[in-house]
Amino acid sequence: MIQGEDEMKILVINAGSSSLKYQLIDMDNEQMLAKGNCDKIGLEMGIFGHKTADGREKKIEIRMANHTEAFEQVKNALLDSEVGVIKDLSEVAAIGHRIVQGGALFSESVLVDEKVIEGIESLIPLAPLHNSAHVQGIRACMNVFGKEVPEVVVFDTAFHSTMPQKAYMFAVPYEYYEKYKIRRYGFHGTSHRYVSHRVAELMGKDIKDLKLITCHIGNGSSITAIKNGKVIDTSMGLTPLDGFMMGTRTGTLDPSVVTFIAEKENLTPAQLSDLFNKKSGLLGISGISSDDRDICKAEDEGDERAHLAHEMLVYQIQKFIGSYVAALNGVDAIVFTAGLGENQDTLRERICTNMEYLGIKFDHEANKGVRGKEKKISAPDSKVAVYIVPTNEELVIARDTKAIVEKL
């Protein structure tokens, strides 16, 4: 039932525990036809929003008891006489899913079958919230779109699977690696993969000849060192809590801080996880918000803790960049992407300003006010190039899905 080359439409899905984001992409020109999200799945009242590329919109409050009911809304919107973009469901050639944790099982994107679903389920202990939701999403898709529509899974961890053992092992007793597969996995791989390949194109060079540091800075953030197209290290670890401070996450911490707080405050592992994942980071230090826009406003108004939160963030990012330059033995380009990386010119400026020793000559004018656009923001004579490259994880998922489905 695969259609002609010229009209392959792929539905890209990112299913969370109580949410579902989607995009329908026409692979003929790689353009998004429609996108939307289902929020508050499983709660008393949910929100469904859908928007087409030409600006038609639908937003309703409706109860969606589970992911299957959410997909019914997606299907109805895509076929809708007013906001729809397809005439018949058969126009959806394939479905691509984002999966957060692929563990050591999956090092590349694969076609979904029962064995693959079992594999994703077996990794639920490593990503309890995400992977169980992804499986619900895959099964719900089958219920609504039918089993004959091929589904592909693309893993956040896969791009990082080239990391050498010396980079991914933690210095805890080796038996825990053998028993529980405790190691560094890294996340945002789909984003790091997209922006690293894209920056190589922008530089007119082969990625196999480049040393790159990609900075995905958003509410969740990670930095990756890429040598000759392969990841050699990344800042997130066993879970997306490791690395540098984020909107509500601590980033790297002295493990004794965890045991100390646990004893003093009498907290359970679940409460500690909540504290470090949801109440720390920019929110914990500023006491204001996890949203950087609020912290910027407070800092402009002279709030000292907002200023401290930003100083800490910049310093931690600079340290990661410095350590990855050492790991790579040099760097050709540094790339900023994701919510803050793409939109926060002050943050980019602060990070790059004290990096002269690296050979970074920052172009302050080129950087000023740039939001969500591809742009080189280093001076022409800078030894190290600095770029903004907006990420496009959905497109990577759609491309992988297309490549796999075309071989069927």
Catalytically active residues, by annotation: 156
Length of the chain: 408
User: Is the torsion defined by CA of 328, 329, 332, 333 positive or negative?
Assistant: positive
For residue 374, which of 197, 198, 191 has the smallest C-alpha distance? 198
Q: What are the Cα distances from residue 38, in Å, to 45, 86, 173?
A: 11, 19, 43
Q: Are strands 375-376 and 110-111 parallel, antiparallel or unpaired?
A: unpaired
348 three-class SS: helix
Structure-block tokens of residue 297 = 């406003």
Would you put residue 215 in left (φ > 0), alpha (ψ -120 to 50) or beta?
beta
Closest alpha carbon to 48 in 14, 72, 12, 16: 72
393: left (phi over 0), alpha (psi -120 to 50) or beta: alpha
Distance CA 336, CA 54 (A): 29
